[in-house]
């Protein structure tokens, strides 16, 4: 009994220490968004203030990267929802030679390190003489966003009985009607979760963006530059809180949408 109690205490202590190791740095980011010290990270902070939120709101250099990040994430998510769903339908509803190999190729972008994906895309754009633009960033983000949606859609397709599609056909529905009234409602929560995860991951992507953005700056790239050459350190932490909220909330919602089923909720990216 005593041995079990000691083991239980040890496991709880280990879990607590692991959580502190993971989340204490995030808590420090929040703390230093309120510090009165502008140039250094003094601990404990000499004082707390809300003024940096107002300063961040007035900083004109923050808004263009924010708009670009939102635009890229929205377009990449839309592309991922369309292509990821179609790809999942093809992989689960049909059987053909080489299907397993194609599935591996579909999943490969999420397994590759971001720097490999970024270098590959940059080389491809150079070979095809494609200038850097918003669309090159979108294409870079879509490579892994498609996989996120695909994983969630495949999991739901596998739970979807083929008999309901056959019943819809027997009742006279054409392919579009079957998709709209039968398949899409059953995929709804999985696609919503996949879309939210794709948006969150696109919004805070740094590595692939670095290779595909050219002279443009998304919000995470702006933060990286501010960390290297800081003007007002607390402002960077304020922006980090915004990025945290923009990524954490969609992921949290996606978790609650998929926790009762077998959706992959992102596949580990």
Which tens digits make up the pLDDT trace of 209-254? 888 887 888 888 888 887 777 677 778 888 888 888 877 877 777 7
Domains and CATH numbers, the chain: 59-258 (1.10.3720.10)
Across the strands, what pairs with 48? 35
pLDDT value, residue 38: 66
Across the strands, what pairs with 85? none
C-alpha Rg value of the chain to the nearest Å:
23
Tell me the DSSP string of 45-79: -S-B-SHHHHHHHH-TTTHHHHHHHHHHHHHHHHH
Whether pLDDT at 24 is above 90: no
Sign of CA dihedral 146, 147, 152, 153: positive
pLDDT tens profile 28-58: 778 877 776 766 666 777 777 778 788 788 8
Query: pTM for the full model?
Result: 0.78
Across the strands, what pairs with 35? 48
Residue with tokens 């670095």: 210
């Amino acid at each position: 009994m005593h041995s079990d109690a000691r083991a239980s205490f040890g496991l709880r202590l280990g879990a607590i220490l692991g959580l502190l190791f993971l989340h204490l740095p995030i808590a420090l980011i929040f703390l230093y968004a309120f510090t009165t010290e502008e140039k250094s990270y003094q601990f404990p902070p000499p004082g707390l203030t809300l003024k940096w939120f107002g300063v961040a709101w007035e900083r004109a250099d923050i808004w263009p990267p924010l708009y670009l990040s939102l635009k890229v994430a929205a377009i990449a998510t839309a592309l991922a929802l369309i292509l990821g769903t179609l790809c999942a339908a093809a992989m689960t509803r049909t059987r053909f030679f080489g299907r397993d190999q194609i599935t591996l190729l579909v999943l490969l972008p999420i397994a590759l390190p971001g720097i490999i994906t970024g270098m590959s895309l940059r080389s491809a754009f150079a070979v095809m003489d494609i200038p850097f633009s918003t669309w090159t960033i979108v294409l870079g983000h879509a490579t892994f966003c498609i996989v996120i949606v695909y994983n969630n859609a495949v999991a739901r397709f596998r739970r979807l009985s083929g008999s309901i599609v056959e019943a819809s056909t027997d009742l006279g529905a054409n392919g579009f009607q079957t998709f709209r009234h039968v398949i899409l409602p059953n995929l709804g929560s999985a696609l919503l979760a996949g879309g939210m995860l794709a948006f969150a991951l696109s919004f805070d992507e740094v590595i692939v963006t670095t290779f595909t953005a050219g002279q443009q700056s998304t919000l995470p790239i702006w933060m990286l530059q501010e960390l290297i050459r800081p003007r007002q350190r607390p402002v960077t932490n304020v922006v980090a809180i915004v990025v945290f909220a923009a990524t954490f909330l969609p992921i949290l919602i996606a978790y609650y949408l998929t926790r009762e089923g077998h959706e992959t909720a992102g596949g580990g990216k």
